[in-house]
C-alpha cells in the first residue's frame, strides 16, 4: 500500500497528557473551547481527560455533549482495573462508564519491571487486569484503545512478556494498540525495528505515543508510521509532562506534506498555525517563535543573501509554501540586512519601496546606525513602518510634542510610590496641557497622552497597552546602561510592537508610546481613505 493511499488517524491528548505539563492548567471552559477548535481542525480523536482522576474532567464529559462537534470523536482515558479488584467494582472503570462516550483509551503495564515494582503485583495478574478491563469495556463502547505504557522499554527488557500483554488485549477485543515510549528515551531506529517486529505478532491496527525526553518524539512518531502504524497520538505544540509529548503541529505536516499520507483535509491544514496560537493562549504560555511550521520565525529571513534569493523565488530558502499551514514568510530588517530584505519587508508592510528607489540606501544606512545604538526593528514592525513612512514623507503628523514631566513620589515605607505625568501637545494650533496619575511612570505617561489627545481623536479609546518589555544593553554597565523598551499595543483587531532606546528608561518608554499612538492614528487614516475609494 502506497503512503498516499493510507490514512493516518490523529489522536490529540492535549487536554489530558498536555495538561500534565508544568505551568499548564486548563479550566473547564478552556477544555471545551480547545475541543471545538480541534474539531474544526479535523482531528479524528480528542482525549478529553481522565474522568476518574478529578471532578473537572468528570464535568468535561458532561458538558462536551452540548457542543456541536462535527469531525472528532471524544475519548475518555483510564487505566486497567487495580490488582485483585473485580473490574465491575473498580472505581476508575465505573468513572469511565459514567463519562458515557463511545471511545475508551486504557493504559496498562507491559514492562515487567513496572509490574513488579510499581504495581507490586504478579505478571499473571497484570495480564488478567488487561484482559478483564478491555473485555468489560468493549461490551459497553464502540471502540477500545489500549496504550501499553513503557512498551519499548518493556520489549527490550522482556520481549515475550511485552508481546503477551498485547496478545491478551487482542483476545479481549481491543480495536487499536498504541505503543508508548513513555520515558521518551528510545531512538528512531529502535522504534522502527520494534514496531515492525510487533506488527508480525499482533493482528490489530497499531499506533504510536511518543514523549520528547530525548528530543526525538516527532522523529520517533514518523519512524513508527514508516514501520506501519496508522494511529498517531500527540499534543498541540508538544506540551506535556517533563519535556513534553510529540508535537502534532510538526507531525501532521511532516506526514502529509513531506510523505504523502492523509491526515487532515488540506483546507483544514491551513488552520494549523491558528490552532497552535490558540492553545498557547489557553495554556497561558508564550508561543515558541522558532517552532517548525507554525512559529513566527519558521519562515523568517534575516540574512541579506537569503532575502535576496527569496525575493526571486521563495523555494530557495523555504522547504514548503508557508500558507499550507496558515503561516507566512517574514523578512527581518536588522544590521545584517541587505537591500532585498528591506524591499521585501516594505512589501510585507504594504509600503511602496523598490530596489531602484533613490531613498533605499539612505533608509538602510540609517536603520543600521539605529541598531548599532541599540534599536531592534526585527521585533518592532510598527516602528519600522513609521520610520520608512517618515523618510518617504508618507505620514501625517497628527500632533506636535511640546514637553512632559514625570514625578514619582514615595512618602511612606511599605506603600507604593505615587506616579504622575504632565504633558503638553499641540493639535492643529491648539495646545493641550494635561496631567494624569498611573500605576508607575510609564502608565502615567500613557494616561496623560491619551487624556490630551482623545478629545481630538476618539479612536484612541480603543488603544490598549498589552505588554511592556525592557532590555538592558549592553549588559554589565549597571544603571549607566542603555535600555531598549518594546511596547505591544492592540485595538481589538490588530496588535503591533513599537520600540524606544535611551539611557533614560522614561525617554525610551516615551518613544515607544509615541510610535504606538502614531501607528494607530495613521492606520485609522488609511482605513477612512479606503472607505472613500
**Average pLDDT for 187-210:** 97
> Residue 157 has what pLDDT?
94
Residue 332 sits in the same domain as residue 218: no
Q: Which of 312, 345, 362 is the last residue of a domain?
A: 362
247 and 349 both lie in a single domain: no
| 212 and 333 within one domain | no
Average pLDDT (207-235) is 98
Distance in angstroms (rounded) separating the CA atoms of residues 74 and 65: 9
Question: Which tens digit of pLDDT belongs to each residue from 148-188?
Answer: 999 999 999 999 999 999 999 999 999 999 999 999 999 99
107 and 221 co-located in one domain: yes
Mean pLDDT, rounded, for 176-202: 97
Owning domain of residue 357: 300-362
Same domain, yes or no, for 20 and 73? Answer: yes
277-283: list long-range contacts, CB under 8 Å, 24+ apart: 278/34, 278/37, 279/14, 279/34, 279/37, 279/236, 279/237, 279/239, 280/237, 282/26, 282/30, 282/33, 282/34, 283/18, 283/21, 283/24, 283/26, 283/237, 283/239
Instruction: Quote the pLDDT of residue 531.
Output: 76
Is the pLDDT assigned to residue 462 strictly greater than 70?
yes
User: Rounded CA gap, 496 and 106, in Å?
Assistant: 46
Q: How many Cα neighbours within 13 Å face the side chain of 181? A: 34
Summarize pLDDT for 240-276 with one digit per residue, the tens.
999 999 999 999 999 999 999 999 999 999 999 989 9
- Which of 313, 341, 362 lies at the terminal end of a domain, its last residue? 362
Are 276 and 320 contained in the same domain?
no
- Greater pLDDT, 51 or 378: 51
Confidence of residue 336 (pLDDT cuts 50, 70, 90): very low
Q: Looking at the predicted structure, is the pLDDT value of residue 363 above 80?
A: no
pLDDT, average across residues 274-285? 87
CA dist., res. 516 & res. 533, Å (int): 26
* 113 and 225 both lie in a single domain: yes
More confident call, 190 vs 379? 190
Instruction: Give the integer Cα–Cα distance in Å for 200 and 183.
Output: 24
Asked which of 189-193, 340-344, 404-408, 526-530 is least confident by mean pLDDT, the reply is 340-344
Nearest CA-CA partner of 327 in 287, 281, 277, 270: 270
Q: Give the mean pLDDT of 471-475.
A: 70
Q: Are 313 and 167 contained in the same domain?
A: no
**Better-predicted residue by pLDDT, 401 or 150:** 150
The predicted pLDDT at position 484 comes to 85
Let me know whether 334 and 237 are in one domain: no
pLDDT band at residue 344 under the 50/70/90 scheme: low
Is residue 155 one of the residues assigned to a domain?
yes
Whether 124 is in a domain gets the answer yes
Q: Residue 354: is its pLDDT beyond 50?
A: yes
pLDDT bin (cut points 50, 70, 90) of residue 335 is: very low
236 and 328 assigned to the same domain: no
Cα 62 from Cα 44, distance rounded (Å): 20
Same domain, 241 and 102: yes
Examine the pLDDT at 402 and tell me if it is beyond 70.
yes
Residue 410, pLDDT score:
83
Residue 387 is predicted with a pLDDT of 81
5 pLDDT more than 60:
no
- The pLDDT of residue 282 is 85
Q: Is the pLDDT of residue 19 over 60?
A: yes
Does the pLDDT of residue 367 top 80, yes or no? no
Q: What pLDDT score was predicted for residue 115?
A: 92
* Rg (alpha carbons) of the chain, rounded to whole number: 29
Could you tell me if 145 and 252 lie in one domain? yes
Average pLDDT over residues 345-356: 70
Domain annotation covers residue 386: no
> How confident is the model over 81-129, as pLDDT tens digits?
999 999 999 999 999 999 999 999 999 999 999 899 888 999 999 999 9
Task: Specify if 464 maps to a domain.
Answer: no
Comparison of pLDDT for 358 and 90, the residue scoring more: 90
- DSSP-assigned letter for residue 417: P
For the segment 57-74, what is each residue's pLDDT rounded down to a tens digit?
999 999 999 999 999 999
- Look at residue 1 in the predicted model and tell me its pLDDT: 44
**What percent of the chain stands above pLDDT 70?**
90
- Is 348 within the bounds of a domain? yes
426 inside domain: no
Q: What is the pLDDT of residue 325?
A: 93
pLDDT at 464: 86
Residue 233 has pLDDT above 70, yes or no: yes
Task: Copy the grid coordinates of residue 431.
Answer: 495646545
- What integer is the mean pLDDT of 479-489? 79
Cα atoms in the 13 Å half-sphere on the side-chain side of 531:
6
Distance between CA atoms of 423 and 403, rounded to whole angstroms? Answer: 6
DSSP, res 21:
S
Query: Quick check: 480 pLDDT over 80?
Result: no
By C-alpha distance, which of 511, 524, 47, 456 is closest to 240? 47
What is the mean pLDDT of the segment spanning 174-203?
97
Q: What is the pLDDT of residues 306-328, one digit of tens each?
A: 656 666 666 776 789 988 999 87
pLDDT digits over 32-52, tens only? 999 999 999 999 999 999 997
At which of 336, 362, 388 does a domain end?
362
What CATH number should be reported for the domain holding residue 9?
3.20.20.70
Number of domains the chain contains: 2
Amino acid at each position: 500500500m502506497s503512503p498516499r493511499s493510507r490514512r493516518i488517524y490523529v489522536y490529540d491528548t492535549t487536554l489530558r497528557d498536555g495538561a500534565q505539563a508544568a505551568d499548564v492548567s486548563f479550566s473547564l471552559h478552556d477544555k471545551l473551547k480547545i475541543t471545538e477548535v480541534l474539531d474544526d481542525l479535523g482531528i479524528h480523536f480528542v482525549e478529553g481527560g481522565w474522568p476518574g482522576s478529578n471532578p473537572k474532567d468528570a464535568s468535561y464529559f458532561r458538558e462536551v455533549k452540548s457542543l456541536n462537534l462535527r469531525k472528532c470523536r471524544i475519548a475518555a482515558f483510564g487505566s486497567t482495573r487495580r490488582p485483585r479488584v473485580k473490574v465491575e467494582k473498580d472505581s476508575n472503570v465505573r468513572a469511565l462508564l459514567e463519562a458515557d462516550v463511545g471511545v475508551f483509551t486504557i493504559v496498562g503495564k507491559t514492562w515487567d519491571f513496572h509490574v513488579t515494582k510499581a504495581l507490586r503485583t504478579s505478571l499473571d495478574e497484570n495480564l488478567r487486569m488487561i484482559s478483564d478491563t478491555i473485555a468489560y469495556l468493549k461490551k459497553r463502547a464502540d471502540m477500545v484503545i489500549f496504550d501499553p505504557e513503557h512498551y519499548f522499554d518493556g520489549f527490550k527488557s522482556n520481549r515475550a512478556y511485552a508481546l503477551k500483554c498485547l496478545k491478551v488485549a487482542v483476545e479481549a477485543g481491543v480495536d487499536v494498540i498504541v505503543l508508548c515510549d513513555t520515558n521518551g528515551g528510545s531512538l528512531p531506529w529502535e522504534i522502527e525495528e520494534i514496531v515492525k517486529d510487533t506488527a508480525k505478532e499482533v493482528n490489530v491496527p497499531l499506533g504510536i505515543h511518543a514523549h520528547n525526553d530525548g528530543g526525538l518524539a516527532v522523529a520517533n512518531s514518523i519512524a513508527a508510521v514508516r514501520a506501519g502504524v496508522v494511529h498517531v497520538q500527540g499534543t498541540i505544540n508538544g506540551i506535556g509532562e517533563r519535556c513534553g509529548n510529540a508535537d502534532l503541529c510538526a507531525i501532521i505536516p511532516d506526514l502529509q506534506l513531506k510523505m504523502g499520507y492523509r491526515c487532515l483535509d488540506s483546507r483544514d491544514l491551513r488552520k494549523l498555525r491558528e490552532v497552535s496560537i490558540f492553545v498557547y493562549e489557553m495554556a497561558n504560555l508564550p508561543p515558541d517563535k522558532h517552532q517548525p511550521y507554525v512559529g513566527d520565525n519558521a519562515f523568517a529571513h534575516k540574512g541579506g543573501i537569503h532575502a535576496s534569493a527569496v525575493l526571486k523565488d521563495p523555494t530557495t530558502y523555504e522547504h514548503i509554501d508557508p500558507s499550507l499551514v496558515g503561516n507566512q514568510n517574514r523578512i527581518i530588517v536588522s544590521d545584517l540586512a541587505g537591500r532585498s530584505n528591506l524591499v521585501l519587508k516594505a512589501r510585507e508592510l504594504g509600503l511602496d519601496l523598490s530596489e531602484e528607489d533613490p531613498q533605499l540606501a539612505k533608509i538602510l544606512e540609517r536603520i543600521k546606525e539605529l541598531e548599532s545604538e541599540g534599536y531592534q526593528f526585527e521585533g518592532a514592525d510598527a516602528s519600522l513602518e513609521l520610520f520608512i513612512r517618515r523618510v518617504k514623507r508618507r505620514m501625517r503628523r497628527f500632533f506636535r510634542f511640546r514637553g512632559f514631566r514625570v514625578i514619582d513620589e514615595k512618602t511612606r515605607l511599605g506603600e507604593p510610590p505615587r506616579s504622575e505625568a504632565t504633558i503638553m501637545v499641540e493639535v492643529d494650533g491648539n495646545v493641550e496641557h494635561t496631567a494624569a496619575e498611573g500605576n508607575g511612570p510609564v502608565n502615567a505617561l500613557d494616561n496623560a497622552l491619551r487624556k490630551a489627545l482623545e478629545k481630538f481623536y476618539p479612536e484612541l479609546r480603543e488603544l490598549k497597552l498589552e505588554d511592556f518589555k525592557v532590555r538592558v544593553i549592553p549588559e554589565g554597565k549597571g544603571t549607566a546602561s542603555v535600555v531598549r523598551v518594546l511596547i505591544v499595543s492592540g485595538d481589538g483587531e490588530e496588535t503591533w510592537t513599537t520600540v524606544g532606546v535611551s539611557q533614560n528608561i522614561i525617554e525610551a518608554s516615551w518613544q515607544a508610546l509615541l510610535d504606538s499612538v502614531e501607528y494607530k492614528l495613521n492606520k485609522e487614516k488609511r482605513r477612512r481613505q479606503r472607505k472613500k475609494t
